[in-house]
Amino acid sequence: MNCVVLISVATKTIETNKPMKKLKLMIALLAGFALAGTALTALADDSKETTITGNMVCGKCTLHETASCQNVIQVEKDGKTVNYYLAKNDVSDAMHEDVCHGDGEKVTATGTVTEKDGKEMMTVSKLEKTK
């Protein structure tokens, strides 16, 4: 009979702790959602499009900085030249022939900018020659 009493006591203990476990679970879930929302907001801020204007040249043929041909837009910023290496896509590739083996073209580019290995990388969505 003692065994039955212990089981019933153990069952009551578990039942009284259930609301506390549910509360802890709810708090953990809410904290998780709050952190996920913060992370998504930070990612959204990073994906804002930026517009730059500068001289576009070939990273391999003109600058001798890349292993293969790649468009690079050089922008003057605070008295220094900043190189934006354009990711290869249809928009960027469409203008490469105009700058490869030449002095470059003045362009205005719109796209998202990220930093990779200490270099500014830009994925362009719009690229136009300027005067």
Domains held by the chain: number: 2
Instruction: Look up residue 88 and give its two tokens.
Output: 């290869």
Helix (H), strand (E) counts: the chain: 3, 5
Regarding whether 86 and 109 lie in a shared domain, the answer is: yes
Phi, psi values for residue 115, rounded to 5°:
-110, 130
- β-partners of residue 114 are 121
Q: What is the pTM of this model?
A: 0.64
For residue 93, give its domain range.
Answer: 49-129
Regarding whether 42 and 81 lie in a shared domain, the answer is: no
Q: Which amino acid is at 3?
A: C
Instruction: Using the predicted structure, report yes or no on whether residue 131 has a pLDDT greater than 80.
Output: no
pLDDT, one tens digit per residue, over 40-50 is 665 555 568 89
Taking the CB of residue 34, how many other CB atoms lie within 10 A of it? 10
Regarding whether 81 and 34 lie in a shared domain, the answer is: no
Regarding whether 98 and 67 lie in a shared domain, the answer is: yes
Regarding whether 53 and 22 lie in a shared domain, the answer is: no
Taking alpha carbons only, the member of 108, 99, 89, 91 closest to residue 61 is 99
Regarding whether 40 and 58 lie in a shared domain, the answer is: no
Taking alpha carbons only, the member of 52, 60, 55 closest to residue 100 is 60
Regarding whether 11 and 33 lie in a shared domain, the answer is: yes
C-alpha 75/C-alpha 122 separation (Å) is: 13
Average pLDDT over all residues of the chain: 81
Instruction: Using the predicted structure, report yes or no on whether residue 10 has a pLDDT greater than 60.
Output: no
